[in-house]
A and B are shown apart, each in its own frame.
Chain A
Amino acid sequence: MTLFRARQAMGRIVRGRALVAHDGFSARYDLDRIAGTFSRPSHKLVGQSYVGKILILDTAKGGVATAWMLHEMQSRGVVPLAIVLNSVNPILAQGAALGDVPLLAVFDEDITAAVPHDAEVEVNPMERTLTVLAGPAP
């Protein structure tokens, strides 16, 4: 097990598979929220489903709509299990607060390079930790 400490944290403890990329995140700019996939052609996760995954990305991008959209996505169950970012803007935090999406941000290392894609991880906002429980599925 490898453990990483975040400086900013919010929400519940969750466990799941990590969807990792060194790219940004905005619910409006990047997602097809009906299909539950990344839709922006230039996004490194384009075409992949984010539903039930722990998103590990670099930073929050422009736009304020995410503050509403995480709540709307949660209401339909088409939502990431948690979001983990190297750096966060207020919109992501406000959206996570309303939408009940666990959120970790700001680590000593580049978290997108430190966690393997598809690893099983635990997000623990109470302890401000991200733990890699197991490597990618075979």
Chain B
Amino acid sequence: MKLNDEEQDILAGKHGPVPEQALRHQIKVGDFFHAKDFVSVTQAHIMADTESLGEAGVQWLEGLAAGGKGQRRVRIPTITDPRGTDFAKAAFLGQTDAMLALERRTIAAFEALGVVMTNTCINYQTIQAPTRNEHVAFGDTGVVIYSNSICGALSNFEGGPSALSAGLTGRTPRYGFHLPENRRATLQVRVDFTPASLNDWGALGAVVGRTAANYWAVPVIEGIEGAPGSDQLKHFGAAMASFGSIALFHLVGQTPEATTLRDVAPAPLPSHRVTRDDIAALQRGYRKDDVVDVVVFSAPQLSLYELRDLAQLCDGRRFKVPMLAVTSPQVKPNADGAGYTAQIEAAGGTVLSGMCFYQSYAREIAEANGWRRLATNSAKLVNILGGYGYQPVLASMEACVDAAVSGRLAPS
């Protein structure tokens, strides 16, 4: 990679060992992808739950935080994805003291590095959405696909070590979706319906993701009517990223880079058609059993408006099985103030903050609570939890709340 004078100084250790280590990591990745140089970034977002880090990852962070001479704090605004717990609800989840101790060490290390613990995967709804053509270094695939596609920002998937490195150096290798030529569509998807519910939006994203099935694929989608809202596109993108490792899509006439099809597809592309039957089939595929052990709304964290809808559905109900709703620390105070939290918890539900279900030792909390058959309206969550030993089912928010009351999902 071609390095400018400042980058050569960092590599020579003139800014201290921490930025030097960060830049060396970035050069390894940049060389792998044949990046020619670095591009400056304005924000970084780090995925760093402690189930992923483990003791080794936490020690690695603590080593950086110990720092020694020179710069050891991030140069640009750098924030975090959900952590692995809601400390106030850890006992309810069945998390152990060892898990919480690891979380506390991680927080201390990040704070020493100047990282702000926002604990959110919906920073584009709660902290600051990036703008068109803004180069950023975001982690969490749902954050990246939303920022690239809906906001027109430029980011690759930046895993925790790389996002932190970007925060420490203020730059990232210029490859992938930082390059305009990689943002053109590579396949065309025609849909003949517009989803209404969030689970249907997620299922559509899942089908498109499975069809594209490659990080370098960029679907352009035609046929969506009206103006989908932020929560609908959040579930659509998060599922597409989860099922297909997709980082960018275009909706013709809706997303900023695709005013017309020709803007992103100057030449004919491989074409696919997705029908309502396709998304129904995807959802049926998860339906093995009507009995439900736990209902979870998470992945991504719920917006204030999702919590409002959920609270209305919970009003006057009484749950037979646990129902968890997970939101961000920025949304939770508003949900408390508006009475949504009280409405949900009066029915027997639990509102958690700052974590995400699958990032919170999902296997261990399943074993601690006897949770296996899980109902959710998040397509992303059903895709992830199979590997953790769950039997997840995808259903509407209404059907999931009904299941929390009866312990069974009604026939679809």
Contact = CB atoms under 8 A, between A and B. Distances in A.
Nearest to A93: B32
Given A8-B32, A10-B28, A97-B28, A87 B159 contact: no
What is the interface residue range for chain A against chain B?
35 or more
Given A89-B215, A90-B156, A90-B157, A29 B52 contact: no
A66 interface: yes
B56 A62 contact: no
A72 B56 contact: yes
A31 B214 contact: no
Interface residues of B, number: 48
A59 B215 CA distance: 9
A64 B156 contact: no
Contacts of A8: 32-34
Contact of A64 (B25, B141, B383): B141
B94 interface: no
A31 B161 contact: no
Contacts of B384: 28-29, 63
A43 B387 CA distance: 9
Contacts of A4: none
Contacts of A61: 245
Interface in B127-152: 139-141
Nearest to A88: B215
A62 B160 CA distance: 14
Nearest to A105: B32
A17 to B, nearest CB: 23
A122 B228 CA distance: 50
Given A67-B159, A93-B33, A28 B54 contact: no
10 contacts: A10-B32, A42-B386, A65-B47, A71-B56, A71-B161, A72-B55, A75-B56, A90-B29, A90-B176, A97-B161
